[in-house]
Amino acid sequence: MSGGHHESINEILQKDTEDESLRKYKEQLLGAAAKGVPKTDDPRRVVVETFGLKFPDGEHPDIIREVDTPEKVTKLENEPINIKEGVKYQFVVTYRVQHDIVPALHFVNTIKKTMVTVDQQNTMMGSYAPRVEPYTYKSQPQYAPSGMLARGSFKANTKFVDDDGNTHLEMNYNLVIKKDWTD
């Protein structure tokens, strides 16, 4: 953890309860979490539910995989994601925050071809309070590389980390760029 004591949402809510304007400010800042932290038996603070690629031009159905259990993460690692060269895409992730505020959650994605890093992103997604409804993150649109040298298999690693140094999920997947969707 970075810095001194980290206050839980319940500790924050219990402070200064007699100050009406501060109570309203906390409700605005914390959203649904101000009414109480959702109860769950799952100890994870961030539960990444789905991970995949969205094709904003509608050229292909979105490729979305469930990753909310270790078994589903293993399945993602063993089933390549195939895309057409030059296609416009966005990473899309749905996730829930539980138990406590998550400060400065980052999406870190590294793509390599034969051990050489060809793309790396480290995007600050935001700070989030717990709530029952999932949050959604969409990366900025980008284009898959194209041409004969760009085709082939790529190994990718994705992490969800926060400013306190916690890694909430780390997973690997294989990305295959083909000349066409049917190759």
The full DSSP string for 54-120 is E-TTSSS--EEEE-SSHHHHHHHHHSPEEEETT-EEEEEEEEEE-SS-EEEEEEEEEEEETTEEEEE
State pLDDT tens for residues 95-131: 999 888 898 999 999 999 999 999 999 999 999 988 8
pLDDT one-digit tens code per residue, 78-95: 999 999 999 999 999 999
Would you say residue 16 lies in a domain?
A: no
State the CATH number of the domain containing residue 152. 2.70.50.30
SS3 state at 2:
coil
Residue 165: inside a domain, yes or no? yes
**What is the enclosing helix (H) or strand (E) of 155?**
strand 152-161
Q: Is residue 8 part of a domain?
A: no
Q: In 3D, which of 80, 77, 83 has the Cα closest to residue 54?
A: 83
The pTM assigned to this predicted structure is 0.80
Domain coverage including residue 138 = 46-178
The answer to whether residue 146 sits within a structural domain is yes
The answer to whether residue 32 sits within a structural domain is: no
Q: Is residue 92 part of a domain?
A: yes
Report how many domains make up the chain.
1
Asked if residue 41 belongs to a domain, the reply is no
